[in-house]
Amino acid sequence: MPWHGPYQIGCLLEKCLDDGQDWPGDRGGVYVITHRRWRDEPNHESGVLYVGGNTGKSQRFCTRIGDLIADMFGFYGHETGHHSGGQSIWKWCRRNHLNPLSLYIGWLTHARCNRCAEARACEALRPKLNKKKPAQCKEHR
């Protein structure tokens, strides 16, 4: 299963109306935010900040990435927000004086099991900002 990306966040948003721009679909998958560009697939050297996913049969994969992007730019309140990972990225960017537009995103779709794919990606990439390890599915333990 090939990874889509990496796309620099600023370029992805700039091309949001471009029919040729690769875009996340509705079905589940795994996404990654990195500090540095990668080739073919993300790795630890690409500065992995966050690994997330949309598990189960939900049709919200693209929406989940949208929630992440909104919060990583600070569009959340003290008691509200959509994505804790996005909030962690925003705080990290503030501490490191780095605009989130310069970060990279990529996603993986069509995994046999999205929950297992997210758990494996998290284990392999060791993201800096994930607060908890994703649970592996009950079916494939």
The Cα–Cα gap between 59 and 75 comes to 23
pLDDT tens by residue, 107-133? 998 888 888 889 999 999 999 999 888
pTM of the model: 0.92
pLDDT tens by residue, 43-76? 999 999 999 988 666 788 999 999 999 999 999 9
pLDDT in the model for residue 136? 72
